[in-house]
Chains A and B, each alone.
Chain A
Amino acid sequence: MSRLEAKKPSFCKSEPLTSERVRATLCVLKGILTSSYGPSGRLKQLHNGLGGCVCTTSQSSALLTNLSVTHPILKILTTSMQNHVSCFSDCGLFTAILCCNLIENVQRIGLMPTTVIKLNKHLLSLCTSYLQSEFCACRILVDFSSTQTLLCLVRSIVTSKPACMLTRQEIDHISALILRAFLLTIPENTKDCLILGKSIIVPLKGQRVTDSTVLPGILLEISEVQLMKILPIKKSDTFKVALFCASLSGDLSDTGEGTVVVSSGVSLENAVLDQLLNLGRQLVSDHIDLVICQKVVHPSLKQFLSMHRMIAIDRVGAALMEPLSKVTGTQPIGSLGSISPSSYGSVKDLCTEKFGFKHFLHLIPNEATICSLLLCNRNDTAWDELKLTCQTALHVLQLTIKEPSVLLGGGCTETHLAAYIRHKICNEPESILQDDGCTQTELQLLTEAFCSALESVAGSLEHDGGEILTDMKYGHFWSAQPESPSVVDWPDLLSRCGCGLYTSQEELRWSFLKSTRHPFAPQTCLPHEAVGSANNLTLDCFTAKLSGLQVAVETANLILDLSYIIEDKN
């Protein structure tokens, strides 16, 4: 007998953004995100309250994957941020904070959503075209002849993740390692297109950060018992490798549904083992030196291989299969039947190494674009954070190779961009007004909302109550002590701007970021010599930030445009 239940009516709510609850939750989310932003951002402990592992983090990728939000509006926001982070790794918090700021500011001025959306789009295109233009003063072209810019970029990323718990020396060490790991993934000889290799992060928890290192090739972890069984590796020019993705454990792979009936005296296990040993014989006759298996190898087969002076390594896991196949030039073998000789590959050298308490078999390939980054940190939660940071930095370096520019970091790009937009709208509003048919007041209100949203992102870098200033020449970001008197000798109080490009000794004029000031034209066109001389700049990934800007404005537009939420309650 089946039971029918009447369908519940759908739940429809108009003007969702005006609801108090939505505003409150949006405010909490914004609070979480802004308080995590930047090198002195506060950390969050994420856990399930039931004794699960505790993740201490301030990174958007870790925060967003763990935040489980219920309200549809927040879902839109977090999903689009996650989407951005999965494509670009960096600038997740920037995007999310900017989006929240935009929503908040626009709500305050109370314009029609259609007008807001149109104008936001205009302002966004002004921003993107400026950032991509030649006279943009917050973009630096990367000079690949020296590592300085790239190292600054990596160091800025590592510095902005306080939960890694690194000291200054450790930051330098890790940054250099990341850059070296990245450089090892670039092939030496390229023809038309560049295919980057991969850096594999090998965990070594509990050791000192400075024990971290980078090695070309692949490290396979082996147990001490396994190590003892490996005979002294004979010297040879190359080692022939067979790579299996099929399990060699000797179980019956897939017996399907139903039952299999065998007569007594027949042992299926033995039959499979015989098949495995046949495979072993073929490997012997093909003069294989090293057998690697993603899954388990039957002990008897291991014994057989070892008797024929072969090294067998099993349980390397799925993650290593692709790099292994790339490094050795093998085709992963998926069946126990006969093997085509073309699926074998080779490595140049093999050796065993010990790091901390772990033993590894080190595969040194002929042509290396794969390297292993052996990463150490004192405790688990800091290690996890450091691993995410390294992945982000490696990804950012890849993006930078594609688009060889970087943006000034430390809040300078945001304040400079805001100053540029304000000035542009103040001086040449005609183009937008003609297109959209909105009034001058509306345009000014929205421009102010947009620019202050950008500036508040920069302001979120400050967590200890300090004042934020901007100079009237470059429009850069400057930080000062809390409760600074308004008339002081600024050059003595300030040292360098947020990105580190300018010092306070340049006869600049400053004003508080929050105060109203007349639009000024920030100096465009970055002088080349200024960049060359400055070291230790704080830099941001160009591609990630540009995309973050676009995603933030578009998501804000989408959320502002919502007039109904219809929920199916069934």
Chain B
Amino acid sequence: MVMACRVINKRRHVGLQQLSSFSGTGRTFLGPVKSSKFIVDEERHESILISSVVRLLESLDLTSAVGQLLNEAVQTQNNTYKTGTSTLLFLVGAWSSAAEECLHLGVPISLIVSVMSEGLNSCIEEVVSLQVPIHNIFDHIDSTKTFSGLETCGVSLCPFLQIPSDTGLQKAHDLKDVASPSLTVYNLSGIPVRSPKLFRPQAEDEANKNTLQNPQTLKKSLLADSRCRKSILIHSRHFNRTDSNRWINKPEGFLEQHGAATPHTYRCNDLVELEMGLSHGDHNSMKLVDAAVRLQFQNASTQQGNCTIPFMFDISRIFTCCLPGVPETFSCVCPGYITVVSISNTTLIKELQNQPVQIILIEGDLTENYRHLGFNKAANINTLLESMKVQQDSSEEQWTDYVLQVLIKFNVNLVLVQGNVSEDLIEKCMHSKRLVIGSVNSSVMQAFAEASGAVQVAYITQVNENCVGSGVCVTFWRSIPSDVIDRINILTILIKTEGINLVTVVLTSPLPAQMQAREDRFWTCAYRLYYALREQKVFLGGGAVEFLCLSHLQILAEQSLSKRNHVCSGWLHNTSSWLASSLALYRSTVLKCLANGWHKYLSALMYNTANCSSELGASTVIQQHLQSATDSGSPSSYILNEYSKLNSGIFNSGISNKLEQIPSVYDIVTPKTEAWRRALDLVLLVLQTDSEIITGLGHTQINSQETEGFLFL
């Protein structure tokens, strides 16, 4: 065994360059308008169509150490949050160039690391002011107003940076009409309290005051309150609107006010508005997500009756069924479990429908040879046959007969199996009017276990009365016209039971090549909404957050230039090193480089959304905005004001003059900031690496042209 070691940080940092070039491949995936890519495998003559970073990295050769670290970072982000990967990939590139730039300028590595890391921390603290609280969105969900109804109303994809700023207009902009009626109430525990003035009798108001001290009762009263309100206003969008305008949720940390200007206060109390903002232009997917959430909400409301547990969007109970070859317009959402079975089951389904059937759930495979995980089959056991008796059935047949007996005994007509099912068994069951479905998703199993009372078992021998669920209906699912579905020769069925908490989203695509991308896009939207609802807050999107980071860093950089003597030694771990005292010298340089990363991000975003014809043009627009933001004295209030102005500037053509009518663009909070952090962590990790040590290699295994620069031990 020989070990080789290569210094990767001589003059130019190889690792950072690799990161930049990997990142360049995902540039077009940034922002709402994503261009697809064809990946062609020349050896196998295969090609696939991709439009997401995760799929891109799956198809790239990332065997180099840096490539692997990058892949690992993207995968972790994707596994944890299912979103933010294109931001992550882009920022990795932007910041590795920034770090390289710092190296060229002679900034010591340790200083780059601490200033960049603290700079990003400071950005993350700063953007809290652009958080928009979401509160009790399901308290006043309006069943008449759904996502599809709003579709005609266009949404700006990148509203914040849409038009070049016009300073004259900006100053003339009057905010009083919006800002003055706002009313804010705090209670002691910091939970925001709404003060619905219009539709509440005086007595109740009094009562509410008395309960303010106690968050528990407060919550109840709020819920009671909202129900009562809902009954009054349920059919009036406009009243509902006016009503909600009166409440301004302002818990600490949200929408911080800065002395000079009075910024807008944003809130989001409406599901459709939130979804519109989070769709990032992908209305088709968000429409399906909206429908799925509403189905879940309805289901939860009917299940709970008057129970006051707040509704939580449960993404694990959403299942996607992909039907390639069907036109896109047939995508839809349905309660229950929709799946594709072989066309030979037609008669069986006909017989099973119109009656509730009993169900069992099998966790593993349903084959004779299946044994649970961890079971080691002894290889050396021979069965001695009794002398003359001829065995009539094979053991496989015996087993199949046994399974049938069990199904007959417990009167089970439907078997859902998580793993594979023996073909023979499916055949036999079909003859005795029993449907066996294999490869069922585990969350579907879970949903049926809850709703039907069945208990998942590993073996058919475990089945007893307690394991059998009941009240399940099996029917044909015929929402897609038969001429369309017959063409692709499949049979779709719907299995459901009373109160099942499962929603199937049927995704269709005329091009099978696009099916995966379609599914990925749906999940991206679903997870965006999921995190927004879970965190109960969103960012103002469309580049606003990144712009604030950019201007914040620029201001920090300016400040550290003017206050040179002010040592921010707290920014460095090791305060006794000389680096601490020379921090002030390099701080503004590093912060500017970090800010350049944001600048690049914003230009690429604007260029991708086709708001600007070139990245240079985009860059100029950003520069103008930046100047105005700095001049205004408080970038965050500048953004808040500008944001609404730009929105209204585009959309107030007669529909309404209320700002809330204008769809905003939103972004999710933690997944986004974590993607930033992850990107910077990766860059700094690679920046601090000075050599690559390859273990367990012989001299010969490294290509001769690569040998240069390797040292052997």
A interface residues, Cβ below 8 angstroms from B = 25, 28-29, 32, 35, 39-40, 42-51, 53-54, 56, 66-71, 74, 159, 162-163, 165, 167-168, 171, 205-208, 224-225, 228-229, 247, 249-252, 255, 257-266, 268, 295-296, 298-300, 303, 307, 314-315, 356-357, 378-382, 410, 462-467, 478-481, 493-500, 536, 538
For window 100-129 of B, CB contacts with A under 8 Å fall at 108-111, 113, 117-118, 121
A40 touches B576 (CB 8 A): no
| Closest A residue to B63 using CB positions | A51
CA distance A296 to B457 in the complex (A): 15
Q: Mark B673-713, 1 if CB is under 8 A from A, else 0.
A: 01001100110110011111111110001100000000111
With contact pairs A167-B118, A264-B385 given, residues A206 and B72 touching in the complex (Cβ less than 8 Å): no
With contact pairs A68-B1, A261-B384, A382-B681 given, residues A25 and B713 touching in the complex (Cβ less than 8 Å): yes
B374 touches A295 (CB 8 A): yes
B interface residues, Cβ below 8 angstroms from A = 1-5, 8-9, 15, 63, 65-66, 68-69, 72-73, 76, 79-80, 108-111, 113, 117-118, 121, 363, 371-378, 380-386, 391, 442, 446, 449-450, 455-459, 461-462, 466, 569-571, 573-582, 674, 677-678, 681-682, 684-685, 688-697, 701-702, 711-713
Q: Which residues of A contact B375 (CB under 8 A)?
A: 249-251, 296, 298
With contact pairs A43-B690, A44-B692 given, residues A167 and B121 touching in the complex (Cβ less than 8 Å): yes
CA distance A259 to B15 in the complex (A): 58
Which of B459, B570, B702 is in CB contact (< 8 Å) with A168? B570
CA distance A303 to B372 in the complex (A): 13
B372 touches A299 (CB 8 A): yes
A67 touches B65 (CB 8 A): no
A21, chain B: closest CB distance, angstroms: 10
Q: Which residues of B contact A479 (CB under 8 A)?
A: 576-578
A54 touches B69 (CB 8 A): yes
A332, chain B: closest CB distance, angstroms: 18
Q: Which residues of B contact A43 (CB under 8 A)?
A: 685, 688-690
B382 touches A261 (CB 8 A): yes
Q: Which residues of B contact A46 (CB under 8 A)?
A: 693, 695
With contact pairs A378-B76, A379-B72 given, residues A315 and B381 touching in the complex (Cβ less than 8 Å): no
With contact pairs A54-B68, A296-B373 given, residues A68 and B681 touching in the complex (Cβ less than 8 Å): no
- A296-B372, A495-B580 known; 8 new pairs, CB 8 Å cut-off, are A42-B690, A43-B685, A43-B689, A49-B702, A268-B378, A382-B681, A495-B581, A536-B575
B384 touches A466 (CB 8 A): no
CA distance A307 to B573 in the complex (A): 56
Q: Which residues of B contact A56 (CB under 8 A)?
A: 69, 685, 689
Which of B5, B110, B582 is in CB contact (< 8 Å) with A463? B110
Q: Which residues of B contact A39 (CB under 8 A)?
A: 573-574
A215, chain B: closest CB distance, angstroms: 22
| Closest A residue to B697 using CB positions | A49
CA distance A228 to B449 in the complex (A): 10
Which of A29, A205, A250, A536 is in CB contact (< 8 Å) with B713? A29
| A/B interface sample: 5 pairs, CB < 8 A | A49-B696, A163-B688, A299-B457, A300-B461, A495-B576
Which of B113, B384, B571 is in CB contact (< 8 Å) with A264? B384
Q: Which residues of A contact B8 (CB under 8 A)?
A: 45
Q: Which residues of B contact A378 (CB under 8 A)?
A: 73, 76, 674, 677-678, 681
CA distance A357 to B4 in the complex (A): 39
Q: Which residues of B contact A478 (CB under 8 A)?
A: 576
A455, chain B: closest CB distance, angstroms: 17
Which of A32, A47, A67, A208 is in CB contact (< 8 Å) with B674? A208
Main secondary structure of the interface of B (DSSP, over half): mixed
Q: Which residues of A contact B3 (CB under 8 A)?
A: 67-69
A45 touches B117 (CB 8 A): no
| Closest A residue to B4 using CB positions | A49
Q: Which residues of A contact B374 (CB under 8 A)?
A: 247, 249, 295-296, 314-315
B695 touches A66 (CB 8 A): yes
CA distance A495 to B578 in the complex (A): 8
CA distance A265 to B570 in the complex (A): 78
With contact pairs A28-B711, A70-B2, A262-B383 given, residues A300 and B459 touching in the complex (Cβ less than 8 Å): yes
| Closest B residue to A42 using CB positions | B690
B68 touches A466 (CB 8 A): no
CA distance A266 to B383 in the complex (A): 8
A463 touches B68 (CB 8 A): no
Which of B65, B459, B691, B702 is in CB contact (< 8 Å) with A35? B691
With contact pairs A44-B693, A162-B113 given, residues A28 and B5 touching in the complex (Cβ less than 8 Å): yes
Q: Which residues of A contact B690 (CB under 8 A)?
A: 35, 42-44
Main secondary structure of the interface of A (DSSP, over half): loop
With contact pairs A264-B385, A464-B110 given, residues A32 and B691 touching in the complex (Cβ less than 8 Å): yes
B109 touches A40 (CB 8 A): yes
CA distance A257 to B462 in the complex (A): 32
A312, chain B: closest CB distance, angstroms: 13
A379 touches B678 (CB 8 A): yes
With contact pairs A28-B5, A67-B3, A159-B573 given, residues A48 and B697 touching in the complex (Cβ less than 8 Å): yes
Q: Which residues of A contact B108 (CB under 8 A)?
A: 464-465
Q: Which residues of A contact B376 (CB under 8 A)?
A: 249, 251
With contact pairs A51-B63, A247-B374, A263-B384 given, residues A493 and B697 touching in the complex (Cβ less than 8 Å): no
| Closest A residue to B118 using CB positions | A167
| A-B CB proximity, top 5 nearest | A296-B374, A299-B458, A464-B108, A42-B690, A40-B110
With contact pairs A463-B110, A464-B579, A495-B576 given, residues A228 and B446 touching in the complex (Cβ less than 8 Å): yes
CA distance A28 to B373 in the complex (A): 48
Q: Which residues of A contact B382 (CB under 8 A)?
A: 259-262
| Closest B residue to A500 using CB positions | B576
Q: Which residues of B contact A48 (CB under 8 A)?
A: 694-697
With contact pairs A261-B382, A299-B372, A463-B109 given, residues A381 and B694 touching in the complex (Cβ less than 8 Å): no
| Closest B residue to A476 using CB positions | B576
A9, chain B: closest CB distance, angstroms: 24
Q: Determine which residue in A47, A162, A258 has the highest number of CB atoms from chain B within 10 A of its CB, and name it.
A: A47
A45 touches B442 (CB 8 A): no
B573 touches A168 (CB 8 A): yes
Q: Which residues of B contact A247 (CB under 8 A)?
A: 374
Which of A163, A259, A357 is in CB contact (< 8 Å) with B380? A259
CA distance A70 to B689 in the complex (A): 24
CA distance A462 to B577 in the complex (A): 9
CA distance A206 to B80 in the complex (A): 6
A381 touches B72 (CB 8 A): yes
| Closest A residue to B681 using CB positions | A165
With contact pairs A40-B109, A45-B65 given, residues A263 and B458 touching in the complex (Cβ less than 8 Å): no
A168, chain B: closest CB distance, angstroms: 7
Q: Which residues of A contact B712 (CB under 8 A)?
A: 25
| Closest B residue to A207 using CB positions | B80
B421, chain A: closest CB distance, angstroms: 18
| Closest B residue to A383 using CB positions | B76
A225 touches B76 (CB 8 A): no
| Closest B residue to A502 using CB positions | B576
Q: Which residues of A contact B111 (CB under 8 A)?
A: 464
Q: Which residues of A contact B73 (CB under 8 A)?
A: 378-379
CA distance A163 to B69 in the complex (A): 13
CA distance A32 to B6 in the complex (A): 10
Q: Which residues of A contact B576 (CB under 8 A)?
A: 410, 478-479, 495-500, 538
Q: Which residues of A contact B458 (CB under 8 A)?
A: 299-300
Q: Which residues of B contact A356 (CB under 8 A)?
A: 80
CA distance A366 to B682 in the complex (A): 43
With contact pairs A49-B701, A225-B442, A300-B459 given, residues A171 and B573 touching in the complex (Cβ less than 8 Å): yes
A45 touches B76 (CB 8 A): no
A413, chain B: closest CB distance, angstroms: 14
Q: Which residues of B contact A497 (CB under 8 A)?
A: 576
CA distance A25 to B373 in the complex (A): 49
A316, chain B: closest CB distance, angstroms: 12
A45 touches B691 (CB 8 A): yes
A513, chain B: closest CB distance, angstroms: 13
A69 touches B713 (CB 8 A): yes
| Closest B residue to A35 using CB positions | B690
